[in-house]
Amino acid sequence: MEIKELVLKGQNSLKSGSFEEALACFEQALFLNQDDPDLWNFKAVALRSLGRYEEALEC
């Protein structure tokens, strides 16, 4: 899956409340490109939604 597809799937998962699935998508996207700050932001949003605040701050 390409980064754009992973981000779209992750965003849709966030909207539907599937936070674990969203996090998995954003982590896969980051595996492909760790230099994209937007991907780190999406990961932080997913972590925050899961109540994992300390981890979200590290993004």
- Of the candidates 40, 48, 46, 49, the one whose C-alpha atom is nearest the C-alpha of residue 23 is 46
Residues 7-24 pLDDT 10s: 999 999 999 999 999 999
Mean pLDDT, rounded, for 40-52 = 98
What tens digit of pLDDT does each residue of 20-36 get?
999 999 999 999 999 99
Sort 37 into a burial class: Cβ within 10 Å, 0-12 / 13-18 / 19+. exposed
Q: How many CB atoms lie under 10 A from the CB of residue 25? A: 27
Whether domain 3-58 has CATH 3.30.360.10: the reply is: no
**pTM (2 decimals)?**
0.93
- How does residue 1 score in pLDDT terms, banded at 50, 70 and 90? confident
pLDDT at 19: 98
